[in-house]
Amino acid sequence: MRSRTVVLSILFAALAIVIALVSLSVGTTKLPLADVIEVLLGGGRRGTRLVVLELRLPRVATGLLVGIAFAVSGALLQTLSRNPLASPDIVGVNSGASAGAVAVIVLAGSGGGNISGVAAKVGIPLAAVLGGLVATAVVGALSIQRGVVHAGKVVLIGVGIAAAANSLVAWLLVIGDVNDAGRAAAWLAGSLNARAWSDAVPVLIAVVLLLPVAMMFNRDLSALVLGDDVASSLGVRVARIRLALLVIAAVLAALATAGAGPIAFVALVAPQVAQRLTRMERPPLLTTAMLGALFVVLADLLARNGLQWAQVGPYELPVGVVTAACGAPYLLHLIGRQQKGR
């Protein structure tokens, strides 16, 4: 790994931790940063411990983890399809997961917007994971050509499956009660509101298991950028590698969506920004992961407190609104700079 990549990874990780600490200290009860750190080290008063460990830490941890998961998923998909637009948002994973979750919210909904018990705790995340995986399995199976997952077809077929899933979601929103539809819309915007440890743990397991596995493919990823023919002449088993990467990307994105909804733009932007900043030929995985985590916790901090700070009112926005509002202009800026450089 080049030193620029390492330095940037460490920088983003450090910034993510700082923002996470700030996020733990602000809110309706403001806590001094020292108290937050004391609690994290195992000390502190009971009340402070409750606020930090039970209310705020699950949310912040979920944010960090889904940031990593979405970003790495996007990096893998963009590399294996050689298309900067190929993020899980676009190739059907998030849409499939959304269709699953919204189906549970609308169909199991009482009409009051509140889904209680098993359906909410287990049903929504499970349906999201299943929906995401089914969508990916369909995309993967249909993209196989002579035993190889065809790079161009993953994206094209993914768009098709995503469109089908999105129209299902729109239909579910129409047939549902307005309160259930509202809850579904909040989920669809990507939100970290009221996350518990049960939301964070599945994403944690996915990240801990799959990030190292993805890192093991680093050499193959670099070869895939050069094209299938060059890659296979370098000894890369293109067919297997691409299938493996597709599965890893799908599991990461589906679990992240189950944890926090389809947070927009993280998977699309983080890899692109990391790639440009490190000046590599493809998105570097570790830098992308750290940037994704930073992006989501920072966005959530703003989503939670931004409207209060701006004296607009006591509203919280879903984190996905902020990731898009911040991510889109930055991407536009990068595109503009790239075009000027030509």
Least distance (Å) from other proteins to the CB of residue 334? 9
Q: Considering only 21-29, 33-41, 66-74, 180-188, which stretch makes contact with other proteins by CB under 8 A?
A: 180-188
Could you give the maximum distance between any two Cα atoms of the chain, in Å? Answer: 63
Least distance (Å) from other proteins to the CB of residue 152? 4
What whole-number distance in Å separates Cα of residue 107 and Cα of residue 112? 12
287 touches other proteins by CB under 8 A? no
Q: Which is nearer to other proteins, 278 or 323 (CB)?
A: 323
167 touches other proteins by CB under 8 A? yes
| Interface with other proteins (CB under 8 A), residue from 32, 47, 112, 336 | 336
What the block records as the tokens of 114 is 């509140």
Q: Which is nearer to other proteins, 44 or 318 (CB)?
A: 318
195 touches other proteins by CB under 8 A? no
Residue 323, C-beta contacts closer than 8 angstroms, at least 6 positions apart? 190, 263, 264, 265, 266, 269, 295, 296, 299
Question: C-alpha distances in angstroms, 44 versus 33, 56, 60, 129, 166?
Answer: 12, 15, 19, 37, 47
> Is the distance from CB of 294 to CB of 15 less than 8 angstroms?
yes
What whole-number distance in Å separates Cα of residue 81 and Cα of residue 227? 10
| Interface with other proteins (CB under 8 A), residue from 97, 189, 255, 290 | 189
CA angle at 106 for the pair 103 and 108, rounded to the nearest 5°? 90
Q: Considering only 54-62, 159-167, 230-238, 289-297, which stretch makes contact with other proteins by CB under 8 A?
A: 159-167
Q: Which of residues 226-245 bind other proteins (CB under 8 A)?
A: none
| Interface with other proteins (CB under 8 A), residue from 8, 90, 270, 274 | 90
Least distance (Å) from other proteins to the CB of residue 46? 35
Q: Which is nearer to other proteins, 11 or 325 (CB)?
A: 325
Q: Which of residues 242-281 bind other proteins (CB under 8 A)?
A: 264-265, 268
Which residues partner with 149 through β-bridges?
A: 144
Neighbours of 77 (CB within 10 A): 32
Tokens 């602000």 belong to which residue?
A: 26
114 touches other proteins by CB under 8 A? no
148 SS3 class: strand
What whole-number distance in Å separates Cα of residue 46 and Cα of residue 57? 15
152 touches other proteins by CB under 8 A? yes
Least distance (Å) from other proteins to the CB of residue 162? 9
Q: Which is nearer to other proteins, 171 or 197 (CB)?
A: 171
What whole-number distance in Å separates Cα of residue 12 and Cα of residue 6? 10
> Is the distance from CB of 294 to CB of 67 less than 8 angstroms?
yes
149 touches other proteins by CB under 8 A? no
Q: Which is nearer to other proteins, 70 or 200 (CB)?
A: 70
324 touches other proteins by CB under 8 A? yes
What whole-number distance in Å separates Cα of residue 122 and Cα of residue 153? 34
| Interface with other proteins (CB under 8 A), residue from 11, 142, 215, 226 | 142
Q: Which is nearer to other proteins, 135 or 291 (CB)?
A: 135
Residue 55, C-beta contacts closer than 8 angstroms, at least 6 positions apart? none
155 touches other proteins by CB under 8 A? yes
| Interface with other proteins (CB under 8 A), residue from 29, 145, 198, 233 | 145
Spatial CA neighbour of 81 closest among 34, 143, 165: 143
Q: Which residues bind other proteins (CB under 8 A)?
A: 83-85, 90, 142, 145, 150-153, 155-157, 159-161, 163-168, 170-171, 173-175, 178-179, 181-182, 185-186, 188-189, 264-265, 268, 315, 317-318, 320-325, 327-329, 331-332, 335-336, 338-342
